[in-house]
């Protein structure tokens, strides 16, 4: 009896300790990431007030004739700083964002570099502070991932590499939960967009992290949510048809937006402007454009608020702003300002939605009462294809508006938007950026994970070494003695000259009785030869050819390093797949 009780008690204590460990990790990772996010947002606000980016500070400087020039100067200086940070501070000269976070989580390295993270955050802060037309959520996600990963490295876990992954997930979830005051959306964003799996082991700490982010943002710092919809809009049944059309139109707008950014990126590469000066150039252009359209400056939170007020814009004005914001964002991101695509997508989508609202008033019965619904549907329809997170987008809207009717409408738009945009563009802006870099996630993470693993550890040096000048009989004898079926011809300098098979040698000896001929006459280059820098994925593709049991591995100059057995590659592949599945189904 006592021993039964003891074992139950010990089990209970172990479960309790486990639960405590999971929640402590989530709490610390989420807390750190959330505080970083709040600090980041507050710093942007402060800089915007200081440098005449926020409408309030611009209005208070309204008597000042130099305001347009000051805006241009701030953007040019901000651009210069961003260019210099990229040149001298960031490894690789490139700031990182959500695509890199996704790549890190998918390729299994699970470790965000602190220096890159800090440098990226700094350049994003400069870009956003100076009023560039870029988003703040991308940098927040990267900052969250950096913080989570950092805490994961410091805290002991006993989970090895997976701790880094959970750290990234916690950081990302906390950042989104903090920025939008939307904990559920934070959890789903981490799983849907970054981790792309729903294991229970990751789910528990990520939920804790998102919740602490929400609590800190809403109750401790009383951070205002992005927008709230007053009252309950009425939606007529016929309008659901319109929401489908908004979804399809939103996909087209989102695709146009993403293509514009990629095109601006290519354009920047082709201009003679050196990379250090590119952001400053974009800043100057944006500043000049802002003389006529100040709404394109910065994150555009105020413009976003206005889109849900039906009377705020004229139809032409909406169309002009929509195009201007797309161009301004493409210009800034393509020419090297650092920031996200998330907030511009929200604004562009809301402008598009408001525009369709204007059309719907004429075309759809009952639409006049629900103008704000159109703006929000447009917002979601454009945002979800850009970030590749339909469920996240739906939940962000739900948590921000806490409105059931609106969320249902948004759901319709979002699924159609993703359907269409997946066909005409791809899963998301992030995946497209990665694909262009040679990292295709469209079929899951197997390829990415295997292509990040070198064949190095699997190279064997146990093979039959045949010397040029050896006779066929000698070679055959040695191969048979080693109980092998193949031998590799390697000269005195180590260069590979071909492979001979036991069967080939035997046949040659029988047919012509030329047992004393040089073995070189039978040596053939193997059908599949691996480079020593090859990864498992390319080795697998290479191994599809030929039938030889061993694949020779050569260095760049053609010297023999060793061999890999075909069968071993299959084993590695099986273990990798098993590892991925285990991670995706891991229990806490």
Residue 87 sits in the site that holds another protein (CB under 8 A): no
Query: What distance in Å separates the CA atoms of residue 248 and residue 377, rounded to the nearest whole number?
Result: 11
Instruction: With residue 489 as reference, give the H or E element that holds it.
Output: strand 486-490
Residues 50 to 79 in contact with another protein, rule: CB under 8 A: 54-56, 58-63
Coil, helix or strand at residue 62 = coil
Q: Which residue lies nearer to another protein by CB, 354 or 534?
A: 354
Q: Least distance from C-beta 148 to another protein, angstroms?
A: 29
Residue 17 sits in the site that holds another protein (CB under 8 A): no
CB of 291 to another protein, least distance (A): 14
- Output the smallest distance, CB 295 to another protein, in A: 8
Q: In the β-sheet with 486-490, what is the strand arrangement from edge to edge?
A: 464-466, 486-490, 496-501
Work out the number of other CB atoms within 10 angstroms of the CB of residue 253. Answer: 26
Residue 309 binds another protein, judged by CB under 8 A: yes
Q: Where are the alpha helices (DSSP H) in 388-436?
A: 390-401, 404-424, 429-436
Q: In angstroms, how far is CA 17 from the centroid of its own chain?
A: 34
Return the residue of 80, 312, 502, 514 that touches another protein, per CB under 8 A: 312
* H or E element that contains 553: strand 550-554
How far is it, in rounded angstroms, from Cα 194 to Cα 213? Answer: 18
Quote the tokens at residue 264: 């601006």
Q: Strand, coil or helix: what is 199?
A: coil
108: left (phi over 0), alpha (psi -120 to 50) or beta: left
Give the nearest distance from C-beta 174 to another protein in angstroms. Answer: 23
Selected range binding another protein among 49-57, 119-127, 261-269, 508-516, rule: CB under 8 A = 49-57
The structure tokens 């993703």 sit at: 418
CA dist 501 and 504 (Å) reads 5
Task: Tell me the closest approach of the beta carbon of residue 56 to another protein, in angstroms.
Answer: 4
CB of 191 to another protein, least distance (A): 30
- Considering only 116, 149, 199, 301, the residue that binds another protein (CB under 8 A) is 301
Site track for another protein across 202-221, x = CB under 8 A: --------------------
| Shortest distance (Å) from residue 167 CB to another protein | 33
- Of 317 and 491, the one with the shorter C-beta distance to another protein is 317
Least distance (Å) from another protein to the CB of residue 222? 9
Q: Considering the complex, what minimum distance in angstroms separates the CB of residue 239 from another protein? A: 20
Which range, of 148-156, 168-176, 222-230, 275-283, touches another protein by CB under 8 A? 222-230
Rounded CA separation 35/516 (Å): 79
| Contacts with 52 (C-beta within 8 Å, 6 or more apart), sequence order | 58, 61, 67, 70, 71, 74
Beta bridge partners of 531: 554
Q: Which two tokens stand for residue 400?
A: 């921000």
Site string for another protein, 26-45 (x = CB under 8 A): --------------------
Opening angle at CA 79, ends 77 and 83, nearest 5 = 115
The piece of 1-9, 309-317, 375-383, 525-533 that touches another protein (CB under 8 A) is 309-317
**Which CB atom, from 150 or from 182, has the smaller least distance to another protein?**
182
What is the Cα–Cα distance from 257 to 345, expressed in whole angstroms? 8
- Which are the contacts of 196, defined by CB distance < 8 A and separation ≥ 6? 105, 106, 441, 444, 445
Nearer to another protein, 61 or 419 (CB): 61
Q: Which is nearer to another protein, 295 or 550 (CB)?
A: 295
Which residue's CB is nearer to another protein, number 52 or number 214? Answer: 52
Q: Residue 314 Cβ, how far from another protein at the closest point, in Å?
A: 10
Hunting for tokens 């319709």 — which residue is that? Answer: 412
Q: Interface with another protein by CB under 8 A: which range of 48-56, 133-141, 267-275, 472-480?
A: 48-56
Q: Which two tokens stand for residue 65?
A: 């004739």
Contact between 495 and 560 (Cβ < 8 Å): yes
Output 56 or 575, the one with its CB closest to another protein.
56
Output the smallest distance, CB 64 to another protein, in A: 10
Q: Which of 259, 305, 452, 453 binds another protein (CB under 8 A)?
A: 305
**Residue of 266, 311, 493, 511 that binds another protein (CB under 8 A):** 311
* Under rule CB under 8 A, residue 306 binds another protein: yes
Instruction: Give the footprint of another protein on residues 474-503 (CB under 8 A).
Output: none
Span interacting with another protein, options 76-84, 224-232, 352-360, 434-442, rule CB under 8 A: 224-232
Query: Among residues 512, 345, 359, which one has the least CA distance to residue 421?
Result: 345
How many chain residues touch another protein (CB under 8 A)?
Answer: 24
Q: Which stretch binds another protein (CB under 8 A): 192-200, 311-319, 544-552, 569-577?
A: 311-319
CA distances from 112 to 76, 93, 171 (A): 30, 16, 11
Segment contacting another protein (CB under 8 A): 73-81, 112-120, 294-302, 394-402? 294-302
- The smaller minimum CB distance to another protein, of residues 14 and 302, is found at 302
CA distances from 403 to 111, 230, 307, 399, 408 (A): 38, 10, 18, 8, 9
CB of 306 to another protein, least distance (A): 6
Q: Which two tokens stand for residue 463?
A: 């093979």
228 binds another protein (CB under 8 A): yes
Least Å distance, CB 138 to another protein, is 23
For the four alpha carbons of 320, 326, 329 and 334, in that order, the dihedral sign comes to negative
Question: 508 with 527: CB under 8 angstroms?
Answer: no
Looking at residues 229 to 248 of the shown chain, list those that interact with another protein (rule: CB under 8 A): 229-231
Q: Cα(454)–Cα(561) distance, rounded to whole angstroms?
A: 14
Residues in touch with another protein (CB under 8 A)? 54-56, 58-63, 224, 228-231, 294-295, 301-302, 305-306, 309, 311-313
């Amino acid at each position: 009896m006592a021993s039964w009780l003891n074992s139950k008690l010990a089990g209970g204590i172990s479960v309790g300790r486990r639960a405590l460990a999971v929640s402590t990790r989530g709490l610390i990772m989420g807390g750190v990431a959330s505080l970083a996010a709040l600090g980041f947002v507050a710093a942007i606000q402060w800089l915007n007030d200081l440098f005449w980016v926020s409408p309030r500070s611009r209005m208070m400087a309204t008597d000042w004739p130099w305001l347009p020039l000051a805006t241009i100067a701030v953007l040019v200086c901000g651009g210069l700083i961003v260019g210099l940070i990229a040149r001298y501070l960031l490894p690789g000269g490139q700031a990182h964002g959500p695509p890199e976070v996704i790549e890190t989580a998918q390729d299994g390295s699970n470790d965000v570099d602190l220096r890159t993270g800090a440098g990226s955050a700094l350049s994003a802060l400069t870009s956003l502070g100076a009023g560039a037309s870029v988003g703040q959520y991308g940098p927040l996600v990267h900052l969250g991932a950096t913080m989570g990963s950092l805490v994961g490295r410091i805290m002991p876990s006993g989970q090895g590499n997976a701790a880094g992954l959970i750290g990234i997930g916690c950081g990302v979830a906390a950042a989104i939960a903090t920025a939008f005051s939307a904990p559920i959306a934070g959890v789903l964003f981490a799983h849907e967009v970054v981790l792309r799996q729903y294991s229970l082991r990751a789910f528990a700490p990520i939920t804790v992290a998102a919740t602490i982010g929400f609590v800190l943002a809403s109750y401790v710092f009383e951070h205002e949510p992005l927008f709230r919809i007053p009252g309950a809009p009425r939606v007529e049944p016929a309008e659901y048809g319109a929401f489908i059309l908004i979804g399809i139109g939103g996909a087209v707008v989102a695709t146009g937006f993403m293509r514009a950014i990629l095109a601006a990126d290519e354009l920047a590469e082709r201009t003679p402007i050196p990379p250090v000066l590119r952001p400053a150039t974009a800043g100057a252009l944006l500043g000049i454009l802002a003389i006529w359209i100040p709404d394109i400056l910065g994150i555009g939170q105020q413009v976003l608020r206005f889109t849900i007020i039906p009377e705020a814009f004229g139809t032409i004005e909406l169309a002009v702003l929509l195009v201007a914001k797309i161009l301004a964002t493409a210009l800034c991101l393509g020419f090297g300002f650092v920031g996200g695509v998330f907030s511009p997508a929200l604004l562009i989508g809301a402008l598009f939605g408001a525009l369709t609202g204007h059309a719907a008033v004429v075309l759809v019965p009952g639409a006049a009462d629900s103008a704000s619904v159109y703006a929000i549907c447009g917002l979601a329809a454009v945002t979800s294809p850009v970030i590749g997170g339909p469920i996240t987008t739906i939940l962000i809207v739900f948590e921000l508006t806490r409105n059931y009717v609106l969320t249902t409408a948004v759901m319709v738009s979002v699924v159609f938007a993703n359907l269409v945009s997946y066909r005409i563009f791809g899963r998301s802006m992030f995946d497209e950026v990665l694909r262009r870099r040679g990292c295709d996630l469209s079929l899951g993470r197997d390829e990415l994970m295997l292509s990040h693993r070198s064949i190095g550890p699997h190279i064997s040096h146990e093979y039959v070494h045949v010397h040029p000048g050896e006779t066929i009989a000698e070679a055959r004898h040695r191969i048979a003695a080693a109980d092998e079926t193949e031998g590799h011809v390697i000269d005195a300098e180590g260069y590979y000259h071909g492979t001979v098979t036991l069967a080939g040698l035997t046949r040659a000896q029988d047919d012509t009785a030329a047992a004393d001929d040089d073995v070189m006459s039978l040596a053939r280059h193997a059908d599949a030869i691996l480079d020593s820098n090859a990864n498992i994925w390319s080795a697998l593709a290479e191994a599809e050819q030929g039938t030889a049991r061993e694949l020779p591995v050569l260095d760049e100059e053609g010297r023999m390093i060793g061999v890999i057995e075909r069968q071993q590659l299959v084993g590695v592949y099986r273990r990798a797949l098993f590892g991925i599945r285990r991670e995706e189904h891991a229990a806490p």
